[in-house]
Amino acid sequence: MWGWGYGNWLGWLGPLVMVVFWAAVITGIVFLVRYFIRQGSGRDREDSALEVLRKRYARGEISKEEYLEKRGDLM
């Protein structure tokens, strides 16, 4: 009579599934947009500050103490 018969006890599940579905779709779109923005930002062309610091330490341009100090500043 009021929609509470057998088999209709999951009636609230439909709207909940739709909300979860659309939240997943929107989250996926946001992650894809952020991914493509990062790809086009030129990270391949220039190294990050930490990468430059690691390379300088590897080449022996700076001491271990200076490396650790600067790495702590960057993190």
Q: What is the pLDDT of residues 16-61, one digit of tens each?
A: 889 999 999 999 999 999 988 887 765 555 568 888 888 999 999 9
Rounded to whole angstroms, what are the CA distances from 46 to 6, 29, 33, 52? 64, 27, 21, 9
More reliable by pLDDT, 27 or 6: 27
Domain boundaries, the chain: 1-44, 46-75
Determine the Cα–Cα distance for residues 3 and 65; give it in Å rounded to an integer: 73
- Whole-number pLDDT of residue 21: 95
